[in-house]
Amino acid sequence: MELFDVLHGFKQYSIFGTGFWGEKLYTIFHEAGVEPHFFVVSDDYSNQDILFGIDVVHISEYTQSEDEAVFIAISNDAYTDLKETLNSKLVNIHYMLEDDYYAAYRYFNGFNAADFLSIPRPVSNKFGFDRGQPIDRYYIERFLENYTSRLNGINTVLEVGDDYYAKKFFLSDAVKKEVLRFDRGEDLTNKATLKSGYYDLFIATQVFHVIYDVRNAIEGAWYLLKEGGTLLATVAGNISQVSWVDMNNYGDYWRFTSLAVKKLFEERFGNNVEVLPYGNSAAATAFIQGLSVEDLPDTSVLADNDEGYSICIGIVARKE
């Protein structure tokens, strides 16, 4: 059954699964004031009888009522192994795909745009990560997709934090992918912690605005690139909420205009800098409210960019 048919059509819900995905779905329900009837588990499960105050029952002992739906909240591999059993024992079931958890959260946490001018709190203070794809990430991914596709001869890639985008846009194992991590002592503002002239591409999304010594960080980015290497970076634009995760760990210092970014990066990269502001007044309004792309009635509203309302800025800088 489709997710919204289940949510609309039944009075009671149970959750099959008590692992990461089961707990995630329970949290969504619980925060919305909805308590699942049971946690249902496979017969070989023996960990616990109660979870979050909800009875845990084995599937062979579970009797499903007519007005009860069951959400299957387990990994894809586990579902593959259990699919035959689940289909033979249960009715009115919905297997939760990853996007369904965001959809369920949005279902229980709707919003009224008229409240934007009367309630002094955003819909979400998590940039929309709790609702789906954050709007700035929509722009970031399109920026990276566009410019990585133009690059040739990429053999070594460095990315800050993890190698998510390096793996996404450079599928070949022949491309060496490395990660720059501050928690290992690797610091863009300290050349002694960096490899010199080593990388063909450096990916730094939403990094430079959380570094106080931003000029030295730009110097570090130039330092680690090969001659002819490229920096693909994004920073927060002139309209953005504070990232409290960064603020409480490393700091969140700067918001940039496209002119400021261009001048800062040209100080080290010369004329080999391209700056691309992303966003408009509608995107900025949704972004500061913490809405996700999936909350928008039509993503075409994101297509037009207005430099005066940039929520993030893409930077292409080449070392020559």
- The domain locations on the chain are 3-109, 121-318
Torsion of CA 62, 66, 67, 71, to 10 degrees: 50
In the structure, what pLDDT confidence band is assigned to residue 13 with cuts at 50, 70 and 90?
Answer: very high
| Residue 36 CB contacts under 8 Å (≥ 6 apart), including other chains | 13, 14, 15, 26, 29, 54
pLDDT tens sequence across 86-121: 999 999 999 999 999 999 999 999 999 999 999 999
The pTM is what?
Answer: 0.90
The rounded distance, in Å, linking the Cα atoms of 205 and 232 is 8
Model pLDDT, residue 113: 92
Mean pLDDT of 228-239: 97
Q: Which two tokens stand for residue 233?
A: 């970076």
153-205 per-position pLDDT tens digit: 999 999 999 999 999 999 999 999 999 999 899 999 999 999 999 999 999 99
Superfamily of domain 121-318: Vaccinia Virus protein VP39 (3.40.50.150)
In the structure, what pLDDT confidence band is assigned to residue 47 with cuts at 50, 70 and 90?
confident
CA atoms within 13 A on the CB side of 48: 11
Look at the block and give the residue holding tokens 């990276």: 144
3-109 fold = Rossmann fold (3.40.50)
pLDDT, mean of residues 27-40: 94
Fold match between 3-109 and 121-318? Answer: yes
pLDDT classification of 211: cutoffs 50, 70, 90: very high
In tens, the pLDDT along 258-269 reads 999 999 999 999
Cβ atoms of 128 and 296 closer than 8 Å: no
Residue 48: band (very low, low, confident or very high) from pLDDT cuts 50, 70, 90: confident
Give the mean pLDDT of the chain.
95
